[in-house]
Structure 1
Amino acid sequence: MSKVIVTGGAGFIGSHIVDKLIRLGHQVLVVDNLSTGRLSNLNQGALFRRMDINDDRLSDVFTAFRPEVVIHHAAQVSVAHSMKNPLLDAKVNIMGTINVLEACQRSGAGKIIYASSAAVYGKPERAVIDEDHALNPMSFYGISKHTPEHYIETYAELIGLEYTIFRYSNVYGGRQDAHGEGGVVSIFTDRLLSNEKCLIFGDGEQTRDFIYVKDIVEANIAAMTRGSGLIMNISNNTSTTVNELLRTMCELLGKPFSPTYMPSRPGDIKDSMLDNSRARRELGWAPGCTLQVGLEETLHYEQLQKRLRKGAS
């Protein structure tokens, strides 16, 4: 079994990865400043240090634990926030990742797995985006997720650090914060369970590639021993319109499909679907959850959490 540090391990995706690592018997240290992560997400079987990834003491924490693998998910994850505060966005996503890489070097870590984003591609030039697609990010967030890819590749050359870089499509699942990182699934879930109107910007025929968080977890686990030196899309390789998404969620909850359509937002991408064939080939991985199954599990989880919060109040 391995010693693994998960940055952002109290957040949406990171906490699910930690849960699986603990179930597999790995020794895990979570580093999270709880700016968006929650203690309630934290697996009790993991060690925990509340710390920002830009903290000067990060290398000391890494060196004391001596990880074999670092799974780096701590980030500023909001496109809107990146546009309002590009300095903070760059500080967290670029400078923070450099600090993590320095900590990897000083602690002798063998591999880093980095969570990048489909935002690095910008406006698609073709229907299905593979990893060789041009990189033309349309937001500071896209820039700040792409830049660390170069730092990781250069550190790998200089110090022999192994790496795998993942570019995620639209991730959804339980624990996603509708008021923070706010993917469309979590926003719709929050509004539907609160009996509020769901807003769709544009005509709802724009498409996205939705990937369930459990499939993201399996890709990260596979990358601990495979896929070194590669950049890979992690996606469902399936196109779904926003209308189809909401209609499916309404059907699962027995609610009417009655969205409020709003004007399109400047800069929104019309269609986005990522080719996942490299990850299938190199990791022996494939998405295991259909959108229907993933949405069923997500809605069930959030309904349960809502009841628990109501009972505690």
Structure 2
Amino acid sequence: MRFLVTGAAGFIGSNLIDGLLVDGHQVIGVDNLSTGVLANLSQAFRSNALWPGRFTFLHNDIQAPDFLGIVVGCNPDVVIHLAAHVDPQTSIEDPYFDARSNVLGTLNVCEASRRAGIRRMVYAGVHLPNHDTVAHGPDDVPRTLNPLSPYLVAKLAGEMYMRAYAEMYGLESICLALPSVYGPRQNPHGPGGVIARFGASILTGQPMTVDRNYFITDDFVYIDDVVEAFVRAAKVTVATTGSYVIGTGKHTAVTDVLAVMSAALDVLVQPDLASVRETETLCSAGVTAAGRELGWKPKFGLPEGIRRTVLWLRTTLEPEPEPTALIGA
């Protein structure tokens, strides 16, 4: 199969591309590199050197006028839309910028997919308490959503556009509603990703700030499980349109996350407390529909996921040891 992945150089996008290439697929990655970095695609570039033509990277923006031509020219079987502005706080400071990226950008992806005759679109959505799963069954009943930032509003609007295009034009549109994703390549200095930020602070000896609402529970899902969910959504043989929550289904307090990190790093973690960030909405995800219709379930528990994340952080953040001089040589 041929895939076009937006947000290719980001945390989720680059890990997903590696997984698709390992499975033998052809991938076209698109990224404007505003937050993504080419270093995340090193493994993909190495794969392409071994099997030329398997991976192509295009430095472009989903809002650009020529994006339609890119999609038509690539002629993918599936478009996986991950590109987004992902900072709730800056969405409050500049909601117009956030809407251009997350609403108009997603609309451009939908329109390009329609004109190019794409069969299926898969979208990285957000998970909120009572997330609407489009009544996949009696245990997944639609409920009222309460987005608390322009970012969440824009991402939900993107999901609605995906559904609308599916209804109007016969596309297959699948939204994967993601809670707190963590793992290798997550930016430890970014707006999200408490595990990456905490790990980086501990390894570099920097003060670690914990917002008080982090003592509420959240659902933490490891990146490899998320990649598997996107692959299954892209390849599921039954025609389907709807939203699927991708998470562990477990409530985990960030205090417990810190305890697991302390064990993995063999240090005592004593964070500073900060004021509550009102834009944060923390929850645990129900995952029944994803298991029933996509055949997906999480494989990685928090201790193993954090262990793997810590290994990556060590190789990324810890300085190389200074060479030892030979005395008397």
TM-score of the two chains, using structure 1 as the length reference: 0.92
Q: Percent identity?
A: 35
Q: Which residue among 270, 273, 276 is the counterpart of 1:261?
A: 273
- Superposed, 1:284-295 pairs within 5 Å as 284-295=295-306
Which residue of the partner structure matches residue 105 of structure 2? Answer: 96
Q: Which residue among 218, 233, 241 is the counterpart of 1:223?
A: 233
The amino acid of 2:219's aligned partner reads D
Q: How far, CA to CA, are the matches of 1:131 and 1:190 in structure 2?
A: 39
- Superposed, 1:197-276 pairs within 5 Å as 197-202=207-212, 204-226=214-236, 228-269=240-281, 271-276=282-287
Q: What count of residue pairs does the alignment treat as equivalent?
A: 303
Deviation (angstroms), 1:222:
0.5
Based on CA coordinates, which of the two structures has the bigger radius of gyration?
Answer: 2
Deviation (angstroms), 1:204:
4.8
8 Å CA contact 1:86, 1:140 repeated in 2: yes
Unaligned ranges ≥5, structure 1:
123-128
SS of the residue 2:285 aligns to = coil
8 Å CA contact 2:130, 2:142 repeated in 1: no
1:308/1:256 CA distance change after superposition, 3 Å: closer
Q: How far, CA to CA, are the matches of 1:181 and 1:268 in structure 2?
A: 11
Unaligned ranges ≥5, structure 2:
49-54, 132-138, 323-329
2:168 pairs with 1:158: yes
SS of the residue 2:147 aligns to = coil
Deviation (angstroms), 1:120:
7.9
- Superposed, 1:51-130 pairs within 5 Å as 51-119=60-128
Which residue of the partner structure matches residue 31 of structure 2? Answer: 32
Which residue of the partner structure matches residue 135 of structure 2? Answer: none
Q: How far, CA to CA, are the matches of 2:265 and 2:96 in structure 1?
A: 41
Deviates more, 1:50-59 or 1:178-187: 178-187
TM-score of the two chains, using structure 2 as the length reference: 0.88
SS of the residue 2:5 aligns to = strand
8 Å CA contact 1:119, 1:138 repeated in 2: no
Q: How far, CA to CA, are the matches of 1:309 and 1:9 in structure 2?
A: 29
SS of the residue 1:145 aligns to = helix
SS of the residue 2:273 aligns to = strand
8 Å CA contact 2:213, 2:277 repeated in 1: no
Deviation (angstroms), 1:91:
0.2
1:238/1:120 CA distance change after superposition, 3 Å: closer
The amino acid of 1:296's aligned partner reads R
1:12-42 CA-partner distances (Å, limit 9, x unpaired): 0011100000011111000100011110111
1:180/1:265 CA distance change after superposition, 3 Å: closer
Q: How far, CA to CA, are the matches of 1:177 and 1:131 in structure 2?
A: 34
SS of the residue 1:224 aligns to = helix
